[in-house]
Amino acid sequence: MQQSDNQPAAIDVVLWQYPKNGSDEKRWTRSLSSNERERAATYRFERDRTSFIAGRYLLRQLLSAHAQTPPDELVLRADACGKLTVEGRNRLQFSLSNADGLVAVAIASGCERIGIDCERADAEIEAAALESYCSPDERRWRDQVPAGERPRAAVALWTLKESHLKALGVGLRQDPRSVAFSWQDGIPVMVQSGEPDRQWHHRLIESGSRHVVALAVRSHSCAPGIHVLTFQDDNMPSE
């Protein structure tokens, strides 16, 4: 599915508000590897275990279609920083995030790097925390939005930065303040030394839930085509 340089990258963003009552957990677990099952067993809180299992279940369902391999036969490997690849399909770009009831997966063809992050929109971010990941310009931008929208704006900045650091493969090992955003016509644009970086494309995705979802894509071609899908368990994703 490699595309030529001038074709826009095609990104599927798949969102799943999975049931949190645990009723389907056994079935989801059947498609996980033994390592994943072992990791699932280490979670202290049921909520975190369910979230991990739902994430890996959805990821395997989606990668299975791309790799044409049954979900339970896919071999997922994490590098030293935790970024996953599928054995034998190193060029397949994908990213996974989960946050309290929502799993988000982005899968791409024709791009170099991709990262996705989701967080609850009502996550409380204190002023001190805001300073620890935002530049003075970003804090000014956030202070200018109407008071009722500021908490969501703070979460949006956080998810944008985390999606970018996941696309780079470093995660929060790198200081989130090293990534700065401004806004053009309501679209976030990453700036380096005051100039927009045209190889990167960032988007906030409408999640239809109480979550903020951010996507980071590095692609030499023009703006990527982004297709947002809702996962229906037992079915293929549908719009």
Ligand X SMILES: CC(C)(COP(=O)(O)OP(=O)(O)OC[C@H]1O[C@@H](n2cnc3c(N)ncnc32)[C@H](O)[C@@H]1OP(=O)(O)O)[C@@H](O)C(=O)NCCC(=O)NCCS
What residues make contact with ligand X under the rule CB under 6 A? 52, 55-56, 80-84, 96-98, 117, 162, 166, 169-173
Per-residue CA distances from 114 to 32, 117, 147, 163, 227 (Å): 23, 10, 32, 8, 14
* Rounded Cα distance, 208 and 171, in Å: 26
Q: What is the nearest approach in angstroms of ligand X to the Cβ of residue 170?
A: 6
Q: What is the nearest approach in angstroms of ligand X to the Cβ of residue 213?
A: 10
Of 140 and 177, CB closest to ligand X: 177
* Rounded Cα distance, 184 and 195, in Å: 12
Of 38 and 143, CB closest to ligand X: 38
Catalogue the E-assigned strands of 100-193: 102-109, 113-120, 180-184, 187-192
Q: Phi and psi for 147 in degrees, rounded to 5?
A: -50, -40
Helix (H) or strand (E) holding 68: none
Radius of gyration of the chain (CA): 18
Q: What is the nearest approach in angstroms of ligand X to the Cβ of residue 54?
A: 10
Of 56 and 142, CB closest to ligand X: 56
Q: What is the nearest approach in angstroms of ligand X to the Cβ of residue 163?
A: 8
Q: What is the nearest approach in angstroms of ligand X to the Cβ of residue 232?
A: 21
Per-residue CA distances from 84 to 38, 79, 147, 167, 190 (Å): 17, 6, 38, 11, 24
Of 55 and 188, CB closest to ligand X: 55
Number of neighbouring beta carbons within 10 Å of residue 149:
11
Of 151 and 169, CB closest to ligand X: 169
